[in-house]
Structure 1
Amino acid sequence: MKQKLKTLLHRDGPWAFILLLPSILGFFIFVLFPVVASFLISFTSWDLLTPIKWVGFENYLNLFKDETFIKVLWNTLYFTAVTVPIGIIISLFLAVALNQKIRFIKFYRAAYFLPVISSMVAVAVIWQWIYNPEYGLLNFILGLFGIDGPSWLSDAKWAMPAVMITSIWKGLGFNMLIFLAGIQGISESYYEAADIDGATWFKKFIHITVPLLRPTTFFVTVMAIIGSFQVFDAVFLLTQGGPARSTSVLVHYLYQNGFEYFQMGYASAMAYILFFLVLAFTLIQFTLQKRREE
């Protein structure tokens, strides 16, 4: 066996290396090098034009003195705390509903998944029309009930909820698909035994579906938290972070510092703060999941 493996490596090794070379080079050039470079830049003051100046931990210390950074950090945590649980709950119920044997079920599944593969630019244009205070669909519906709708995207009170609604709507299809795959992996024998015992659909959902979907729920939760911390396109396209930074989040503020204010060191430090936040929340999720399994 060892001799055959040596012969195979000797014969096909060079070709395997050649075929893998583009991916290896891509990883080093576009992933590893930028990660290392941005980490080093985070300890400098650099505006892309003047020579780089080493400042040590000054950027990291200034971040926590920056009132705008504290505000966008709070906005990011607020966005995550609201969108993640609501999105998971709705997508789970959608997955249960779309697991039924009804006519045109494939059409319904495709319809709910369509926003996931749609361009965020197109999605933003549609939702800007929906949120329009004068002729938007949402305020028109509210008007039918005698409610005077707000200026959703230009009101500091309602802008963030509007961005959250759009983000939840766009991401539902992905989470729904993952949950649907998990549900279809549950053996029908559990539900048949529950039917014999006279269990209602709600009891079957609580005592069979939810417990057996824990690994799937864990995966969806981790991915949703990571995605919510990295939200940018919805904010950038719908509100540009306004009004009064009520919708500005970490990645949006990072983008502004790097590519509008040209404070590359400060932006890089912010990127690593974001990295450590995502890492911390992910490790917490893994620890809690491990304890549940034990």
Structure 2
Amino acid sequence: MKKNKYSAEHSNKAWLFLAPALAAILIFSVYPMIRTFIMALQSNDILNPKFVGLENFPIVLKDPIFRRAMLNTLIYSVTVVPLSIIISMFIALVLNTNIIGNKFFETIFFIPYLTSVIAIGIVFRYLLNGNYGFVNYILGFVGIGPIDFLNNPDYNMLATIIFGVWQSLAFNIIVILAGLRSIDKSYYKVAEMFGASSWEQFKKITLPELKSILTFLFLTSFISAFKIYNSVFALFNGRAGVGNKLMTAVFYIYNKFYVEYRYGQAMAAGVILFLFLLVLTFIQKKIIERIGR
């Protein structure tokens, strides 16, 4: 008699265990996304919405503030993501060696991931202050500054990038460290036997073995970077930089929805950002796959 193979998807108990998670995803992820698309096609009157089709999209796309917000977000993303991953890789490689106190430093580097963004933002406001900030104190030793990072609009983006890179390090370091420790040590021993240098081992062994992890980090980091809001809010005390010069895509959506009460246009901007991220993620994934071949 032939025994039937167990199949989880055909087990009622499996779906029972999955039900709470699926319900949470449907309520807090799928429904809001569907609702966003619906509201993007409606008027700005939330109490008596009227169907206006694609009317909101040209208004948003022609808005110079939205275009500046998308440009700011793009500049921030293409700067912070590569810098944070490169620095995280270097720190992870150092921590992966048998240096004294490596476990202690791992804990220190992971602490920012557990700390509130608002709390970190307040600390950075003191560090980057143009009059008494510690960063300007250090720059003074090399004859630079003082630089008013927070009140000079020309340096607002630089301040945000510094904050963003520092904030991204914790998660990246832990993930890369986990990847480094999963690589079989025998690969390096064989490479050493054939006289491979440290750089050759890194290029031929470490990077290929970390391909999936680095792809994951690049994709998730770009998505997170394009959704930047809390960092700007905390760093500039609720403003989008001086004179809103540092307006980002999510900040624009927030202002449209909660300040200007243009609900349809806010959701249209959200849909545009969603589609832009979708296309960008697809292109980025293809580029990473081609480079990794």
TM, length-normalised to structure 2: 0.91
Segment of structure 1 superposing worse, 119-128 or 27-36? 27-36
Partner in structure 2 of residue 252 of structure 1:
251
Segment of structure 1 superposing worse, 203-212 or 157-166? 203-212
- For 1:196 and 1:3, the matched residues in 2 are separated by 47
- For 2:144 and 2:94, the matched residues in 1 are separated by 31
- For 1:3 and 1:216, the matched residues in 2 are separated by 33
Segment of structure 1 superposing worse, 182-191 or 262-271? 182-191
Partner in structure 2 of residue 26 of structure 1:
24
1:72/1:245 contact within 8 Å kept: no
Q: Please list, as runs of the form range in 1=range in 2, the aligned pairs for 1:192-211 lying within 5 A after superposition.
A: 192-211=189-208
Within the alignment, does 1:282 sit opposite 2:266 as a pair? Answer: no
Q: Please list, as runs of the form range in 1=range in 2, the aligned pairs for 1:131-142 lying within 5 A after superposition.
A: 131-142=128-139
Q: What is the identity, as a one-letter code, of the residue corresponding to 2:245?
A: S
Q: How many residues align?
A: 288
| 1:142 aligned counterpart, secondary structure | helix
| 2:242 aligned counterpart, secondary structure | coil
Q: What is the identity, as a one-letter code, of the residue corresponding to 1:132?
A: N
Within the alignment, does 1:231 sit opposite 2:228 as a pair? Answer: yes
Q: What is the identity, as a one-letter code, of the residue corresponding to 2:268?
A: A
Segment of structure 1 superposing worse, 94-103 or 20-29? 20-29
1:95/1:176 contact within 8 Å kept: yes
- For 2:273 and 2:131, the matched residues in 1 are separated by 38
Name which of 60, 84, 90 aligns with 1:63.
Answer: 60
Partner in structure 2 of residue 38 of structure 1:
36
Segment of structure 1 superposing worse, 140-149 or 104-113? 140-149
Q: Please list, as runs of the form range in 1=range in 2, the aligned pairs for 1:1-294 lying within 5 A after superposition.
A: 1-2=3-4, 9=11, 13=12, 20-48=18-46, 50-239=47-236, 240-292=239-291
Q: Deviations over 1:196-225 (max 9, x none)?
A: 233332332233212322222111111111
- For 2:125 and 2:37, the matched residues in 1 are separated by 37
Please report the RMSD computed on the Cα atoms of aligned residues, expressed in angstroms: 2.2
- For 2:19 and 2:207, the matched residues in 1 are separated by 44
| 1:100 aligned counterpart, secondary structure | coil
**Between the two proteins, what is the percent identity of the paired residues?**
31
- For 2:270 and 2:116, the matched residues in 1 are separated by 25
Shift, 1:194, TM fit: 2.4
* Greater than 6 Å deviation, 4+ residue runs: 3-6
Q: Give the 3 Å change call, closer, same or farther, for CA 264–97 of structure 1 in structure 2.
A: same
Shift, 1:39, TM fit: 0.5
Q: Deviations over 1:97-132 (max 9, x none)?
A: 110112221111111111111110110011000011
Q: Give the 3 Å change call, closer, same or farther, for CA 4–159 of structure 1 in structure 2.
A: closer
Shift, 1:233, TM fit: 0.4
- For 1:221 and 1:4, the matched residues in 2 are separated by 37
- For 1:16 and 1:186, the matched residues in 2 are separated by 33
Q: What is the identity, as a one-letter code, of the residue corresponding to 1:263?
A: R
**Structure 2 stretches of 5 or more lacking a match?**
none
Shift, 1:237, TM fit: 1.2
- For 2:240 and 2:7, the matched residues in 1 are separated by 57
